[in-house]
Structures are given as C-alpha cells and as structure tokens.
Amino acid sequence: MGMTVVEKILARAAGQASVKAGDVVEPRVDLAMSHENAALVINQFKVVYQGTGLEPKVWDPSKIAIIFDHRVPAESPKTATNQKMIREFVAANGITKFHDVRGDVGGICHQILPEYGYVRPGCVVVGTDSHTTSHGALGAFSFGVGATEMASAWALGIAVNIEVPATIKVVVKGEFPPFVGPKDFILHLIGRLTAQGANFKVLEFHGETIRKMSTSGRLAICNMSVEAGATSGIVPGDEETVRYLREEAGVADGISCVSPDADANYVRTVEIDVSTLDPQIACPHMVDNVKPIDQVLGTKVHQIVIGSCTNGRLDDLADAAAILRGKKVAQGTRMLVFPASSKIFGQALDKGYIHDLMKAGAVVMNSGCGPCLGVHEGALGDGETALSTTNRNFKGRMGNPTGFVYLCSPVVAAASAITGVITDPRRS
C-alpha cells in the first residue's frame, strides 16, 4: 500500500522506509514556531533541564522561529514583561528567526513563516498555535502542539510520540463564480464535515481548482482546516509552491515537493464542485454553522473586520479596496483592517489600497492578531455583531461573550461595510 503526503513526510523525518496511519513515531522537526506564548515554553523548557546540571540550550537555534503578533505593541505590563523575557532568551540562544515589534519585519506568525521562506515542502513544522495548519499550503506537515511538547522539541529536535494521522482526500473542481473564492470553499467544507468531522485527521487537497489556486488561497484553506478538527491541512507541493517560494519568498534552492502515491490509503474522499457555490457565512456561535449568504442577508453589523492570518494578504486587501473605492463605510458601522504582515502593509500602501480603505472610513491597524481573538484592539460591546474575515466565531471570540461573530470572505465584508448589514457582493 502506498503512502499519503503526510505519511511520506513522517517516514522521512522518522528515518523509516514507510509508516501508516496509527503508527507512533518521533519525527525530526524542521521548524519550531512560537509567538508570545514562547514565555510558557521557556518555563517548561527550564523544567526539562532541572536536575541535569546542564545549561538550558536549544538543540538548533536556526530551526526555531519566534514572532510577536498576538499583543503588539504590548497592551499591559504583564505582556511587556513576558516579551522582555523572550527577547533575553532569544539573545542568549542565538535564535535569528525572531520577529519583534517592528514596522519593517513584523507580522502574524502564519504569514511570516511562508513570507520569509522558513517553510519548505516536505518539512515537519510544529507551532504553539492551532492555526499552524496554515503551512500545509506549502506542502509541509504542519500542526499545533502545547507548551510542554514544544519545550521537548526545543531540547531534542524531535516531536515526541506523534501518531500518524489518517487522511481525508478532498478533490475540488470547477471555476469559482464572481465574488466567490477560497474562503467560501473552506467554510462550505467545514459546514459539510462539521467541526469534528476531521478530528485527528489530515485534509489533503487535490483537483484542478486547487492546482489553479494561489498560495494565498491555499494558506486560507489550510489555516481553517483545524476548524473541522483536522490535525493539519496540506496541499501537495507543485509548480505554484515552487513559484511562490522562489519569486515571493526568495528561496533559491532546497525545494523538493512531495506527492502521494497513486495507491495511497484514504479514510474518505470528499468531492466538491465550486462552480455553483454561493458566498458562505459561518453564523454564531460555531464555524460549522455555515449558511449561503441569502439566508442571512440584512443582518445588522456593528463591526467589520478584514485581516488576520486567514485573509489579511495583499489580494484580500485589493479585493476589499476595489469594492470600497469611492464609497463610505455606513454610519453606525466601524471597519477595522489589519494586514497580515508589515511587508503586505507596505505593498498595500504602495498600491493605494490603504488610502482607499481609510478614505472610505476604515481604521487601518498594525499587523497582529489582537482583533481576531479580542485581547488587543477591536473588542465588541455587549450584544454587538461583527462580520469578520477571521477564522473563529465561538462565544467570546472577539472579547465579549455576549457578542455575535459571523465569518465571511473579504468581498462580503467590504460590501457589507457600505450598507451596515450583511450584503451579497454580487448584488451590491
């Protein structure tokens, strides 16, 4: 029996000829990523060395990335002190893949990793963030771990006791209709699978639609794979992967794509034709509570959010700016925009997108995660409703358990900002 992409990656990383779903392996880690929660990892890392008489040192500083993004700039003395501790640890251990609170190299961790070429096809990537699944867009097996598991990876360079996940094959065909795109597809898939439908499994994406999809779109669908319970989402590396890494991330060599065997074993195959797909909306308070936009038209919206690791890339900002250019955000509705990285922010400035958005009435913020989870900037008031391009909408997700969060694509968000209610961009 042949192997899936993830089985091939894990077999290589574990030094074995082959593995299958259910096997337990300890693969070598190619990249270990944390954000501000590196403070928790550092505490656990010190515990690993207690009683050994050895000085705590990471196994390979070149394979660790730390990005400040959840609370930037620091919103409290506690956060600032934790960031200070992390800076000291980074300096002491010679960690060079460090992105501090800066306007030139800052950004959300799941954008920084691909943007700087830190992720390659065939790699094993672990991160102390559930949306580490994003990096499967570049053909890597990328998944979230806890602070204790990450501390072990820092010390040993391996991921401890990893059960090889089974894989669901997702075959996507058809051309997206106007104003419908990857975000609508992944919301539709999550609604179809349910929030537990891919628990402890990998979603492996195939089909002509995926082959034609940009890396930006692939990042969006792999990012949200975890919302169906998946351990990871993955797009097998192909020509688009190589193009992105060479042309946009500046990677000159070391790109080796991994494809599944023709007789790979999948636990399930899901086929979706996007040619008849409508814009999709995930309604409160679950990401799998997905409805076609017609079923929620006219819902009053107090806050529009465009950005995040899901939909804060240049094409997302371009789409939103095109709709808002020459128009105004509705009175009584506020609009927040946060690009996924400083680089994207700069590109959007150069192309005039930021000017268009601000002139329409949007508040454009520095790159970060704060509004998405509601810990820093953009919290909802009691009973308020948000329409957002982010990835989660459970109670309290934007800082207020009495709020209501709907999820959508950038074009739906932009069209709705003009009217102040959920609006179909195809009819606006």
Confidence at residue 142, expressed as pLDDT on a 0 to 100 scale: 98
Q: Which parts of the chain have pLDDT scores under 50?
A: none
Residue 148 located in a structural domain: yes
Residue 177, CB-side half-sphere exposure with 13 Å CA sphere: 11
Is 133 within 8 Å of 149 (Cβ atoms)?
no
* Residue 67 main-chain phi, psi, to 5 deg: -130, 125
Residue linked to tokens 């639609």: 209
CA atoms within 13 A on the CB side of 395: 4
- The answer to whether residue 222 sits within a structural domain is yes
Residues 124 and 241 in one domain: yes
pLDDT tens for 214-247 read 999 999 999 999 999 999 999 999 999 999 999 9
- Asked whether residue 42 falls in the same domain as residue 178, the answer is yes
- Decide if 277 contacts 188 (C-beta within 8 A): yes
The string of pLDDT tens digits covering residues 58-79 is 999 999 999 999 999 999 999 9
Q: Does 157 share its domain with 197?
A: yes
Per-residue pLDDT tens over the stretch 196-213: 999 999 999 999 999 999
Q: Is residue 77 part of a domain?
A: yes
Same domain, 259 and 286: no
What pLDDT score was predicted for residue 320? 98
* Of 218, 66, 63, residue with least CA distance to 128: 66
Provide the pLDDT for residue 329.
98
- Provide the H-helix boundaries in 238-389: 239-243, 308-311, 314-324, 342-350, 353-360, 370-373
Q: Does the residue 425 lie in any domain?
A: no
* Distance, CA of 4 to CA of 21 (rounded, Å): 9
The verdict on 102 and 209 lying in the same domain is: yes
Q: Domain tally for the chain?
A: 2
Q: Are residues 206 and 257 in the same domain?
A: yes
Q: Specify whether 263 is located in the same domain as 308.
A: no
What local confidence, expressed as pLDDT, does residue 257 receive?
Answer: 96
In the listed set 272, 291, 323, which residue is the last one of a domain according to the structure?
272
> Tokens 């192997």 appear where?
3
**DSSP code, position 246:** I
Distance CA 374, CA 377 (A): 7
**What pLDDT, on the 0 to 100 scale, is given for residue 54?**
82
47 and 194 housed in the same domain = yes
Are the C-beta atoms of 265 and 21 separated by less than 8 Å?
yes
What is the chain's alpha carbon radius of gyration, rounded to the nearest angstrom? 21
Residues 145 and 12 in one domain: yes
Same domain, 374 and 404: yes
- Domain limit, last residue, from 252, 272, 292: 272
Cβ(406)–Cβ(424) below 8 Å: no
Q: What CATH code is carried by the domain that includes residue 286?
A: 3.30.499.10
Q: How far apart are CA 405 and CA 394, in angstroms?
A: 7
For residue 24, what pLDDT is reported?
97
Structural domain of 186: 5-272
* Percent of the chain's residues with pLDDT above 70: 100
Residues 263/388, Cβ–Cβ less than 8 Å: no
Same domain, 267 and 323: no
Last residue of a domain, one of 272, 292, 317: 272
Residues forming beta bridges with residue 124, ordered by sequence position: 141
